[in-house]
Amino acid sequence: MSGPQTLAARYAAIVCDLDGVVYRGPTAVPHAIEALTSSNLPVIYATNNASRTPEDVAAHLRDLGLDCEPGDVATSSQAGARLVADNVPPSSRVLAVGGPGVSAALVQVGLVPVVPADGLGHDVVAALQGYGAGVTASDLAEVAYAVQAGATWVATNTDATLPTDRGVAPGNGSLIGAVQRAVGHAPDMVAGKPSAPLYLMCADRLAIPAERVLAVGDRLDTDIEGAVAAGMDSLLVLTGVDDLAACLEAPPHRRPTWVAPDLRALNVDPDAEGDWLHALSRAVVAVHRARDAGSPASDIAALSESAESVLAAVRFR
């Protein structure tokens, strides 16, 4: 008989979100670095945050103690640039709005980034819009002008918020919403989570089928929904945006395969009787099944309370 098998050992690779999972701002999330290092799996760090280049992200992760190179980082800017390149001629001029990662990703795929300061938004064939702390109302106006002039509009992601070490800040989705109100329609394409392209780009880079990859994240409406769309199993860690109550209320397309307080779950055997991951997973599944079956609200409330009690016991340890 084979011995205990950790959650990580069930998969061939991990695609791991960053904000709220590995770090909050400049600080590592407790237990994240040790758990990822101990997993002994290839990891690609996939982030919807398009503001930084993979080189900058990799340097940050190395500072936190992870063995990480730029090729181990996948950003929604890179996935967005691939979408643009698939839909416009080579060497096309593309409006780049967001942090440095947006322009760098366009260059990588053979396109010519045009920044808003050039005032030439209407001369571009596409606009790639991502998050950047320095994005201004004038930048958003350039995107609107370009889209109204016929440019293909690609959003790196539509996260409404962004967790930081100081609290929750407006994310790229909030900026996308401002342009959408001006132009009267949503982006033509979205690269990042919850859309599938970012996750599928990671699977391609790993040369591993999506169903053999575990996606890890803290948001149901991006990380987990994106994993479902890409055909990946997922682990929701409760160290960022969404809590257990949100998970228990999630519709099927936003339900994780596994739920855990933090990344230490990667090195736990989910099938071990009496193990906290086993107990928590069973409790969450029980609530979801009751909701799907149309059970009375009192039954669902009792099952939800049981799941919260399991989580409280885990955190008490």
Question: Can you give the pLDDT at residue 1?
Answer: 40
Let me know: does 268 contact 276? Beta carbons within 8 Å: yes
Handedness of CA 1, 280, 255, 66 (dihedral sign): negative
| pLDDT beyond 90 at 317 | no
Average pLDDT over all residues of the chain? 92
- pLDDT, one tens digit per residue, over 59-80 is 999 999 999 999 999 999 999 9
Phi-psi region of 200 (alpha: psi -120 to 50; beta: other; left: phi over 0): alpha
Question: Can you give the pLDDT at residue 122?
Answer: 62
Question: Can you give the pLDDT at residue 275?
Answer: 74
CA angle, corner 151, sides to 52 and 171, nearest 5?
Answer: 35
pLDDT average, residue stretch 23-50: 92
Q: Which amino acid is it at 167? A: G
Categorize the per-residue pLDDT at 19 as very low, low, confident or very high, splitting at 50, 70 and 90: confident
Residue 220 carries which DSSP code?
A: I
Cis geometry, peptide bond prior to residue 89 (ω within 30 degrees of 0): no
3-state helix, strand, coil in the chain (%, to 5): 45, 20, 35
Q: In the chain, what percentage of residues exceed pLDDT 70?
A: 96
Tokens 């099944």 map to which residue? 289
Nearest to residue 201, comparing CAs of 52, 79, 57?
Answer: 79
Question: Can you give the pLDDT at residue 164?
Answer: 72
CA angle, corner 198, sides to 123 and 107, nearest 5?
Answer: 40
Question: Can you give the pLDDT at residue 273?
Answer: 57
Just list the catalytic residues: 17, 19
Question: Can you give the pLDDT at residue 5?
Answer: 85
Question: Can you give the pLDDT at residue 4?
Answer: 61
Categorize the per-residue pLDDT at 25 as very low, low, confident or very high, splitting at 50, 70 and 90: confident
- pLDDT, one tens digit per residue, over 144-197 is 999 999 999 999 999 888 767 788 888 899 999 999 999 999 999 999 999 999
Cα atoms found within 13 Å of the Cα of residue 268, Cβ hemisphere only: 22
Crossing angle for the helix pair 172-183 and 137-148, nearest 10 degrees? Answer: 50
Q: What is the pTM of this model?
A: 0.86
Tokens 């890890």 map to which residue? 216
- pLDDT, one tens digit per residue, over 280-308 is 988 999 999 999 999 999 999 999 999 99
Question: Can you give the pLDDT at residue 103?
Answer: 94
Letter string b/e over residues 48-57, b meaning 16 or more CB atoms within 10 A of that residue's CB: bbbbbbbebb
pLDDT average, residue stretch 20-24: 93
- pLDDT, one tens digit per residue, over 248-280 is 999 999 999 999 999 999 998 887 756 788 889
pLDDT average, residue stretch 80-109: 95
Question: Can you give the pLDDT at residue 316?
Answer: 52
Question: Can you give the pLDDT at residue 197?
Answer: 92
Question: Can you give the pLDDT at residue 44?
Answer: 98
Cα of 157 vs its chain's centroid, Å = 9
Q: Strand, helix or coil at 264? A: helix
Q: Token pair for residue 278? A: 């086993």
Tokens 């993979």 map to which residue? 54
What are the C-alpha distances in Å from 18 to residues 45, 50, 314? 7, 12, 23
Count Cβ atoms below 10 Å from residue 267 Cβ, excluding itself.
17
Q: How far apart are CA 4 and CA 251, in angstroms?
A: 32
Q: Strand, helix or coil at 234? A: strand
Which domains are assigned to the chain? Answer: 8-48+195-316 (3.40.50.1000), 76-190 (3.40.50.1000)
Q: Strand, helix or coil at 2? A: coil
Question: Can you give the pLDDT at residue 2?
Answer: 53
